[in-house]
Homo-oligomer: A and B are copies of this chain.
């Protein structure tokens, strides 16, 4: 199946090093989603939502391994039990705060993507669908969930093979 960008995400992060590894660690950092003009009509009514889900292409990701050492851990974990960017289908998912809509531009807060990231989809964040309670989070509980403090490090750097697999 073939997918194509419907826009571009602009953020302050032109390089992977030092980026927050999740929106939870990117509190207050602003970015802009530029939706291509042909899709602008689809943005109606979006301004009523405080949070949106962005699906995007981990465009600097190449290849993948099925066991990865996440930023928040020292042991290899199964890839699908992590949020690492190098995946068989390198699709990223972030819930961000929507601060404003101006034509084709969405002002967003809590960005954790690279500048220039290709946007695949926007969905409204709806607590009845997306907010769950009574949660267990396996290995993440054991390592203490330092996500708000963590930044990406050299594991995330470009080494000719693309972004490596760190990132919880």
Residues of chain A touching chain B, judged by Cβ–Cβ distance below 8 Å, are 1-4, 6, 22-24, 39-53, 55, 57, 66-67, 77-83, 87-89, 91, 93-95, 118, 120-132, 134-141, 145, 147-148, 168
Contacts and interface: CB of A to CB of B under 8 A. Distances in A.
Copies held by the complex: 2
A129 B77 contact: no
**Interface of chain A, main secondary structure:** mixed
15 contacts: A22-B129, A23-B129, A41-B67, A42-B67, A44-B67, A44-B77, A46-B78, A83-B123, A83-B126, A88-B121, A93-B123, A124-B137, A124-B138, A125-B137, A126-B147
Given A49-B137, A83-B126, A3 B1 contact: yes
Nearest to A68: B42
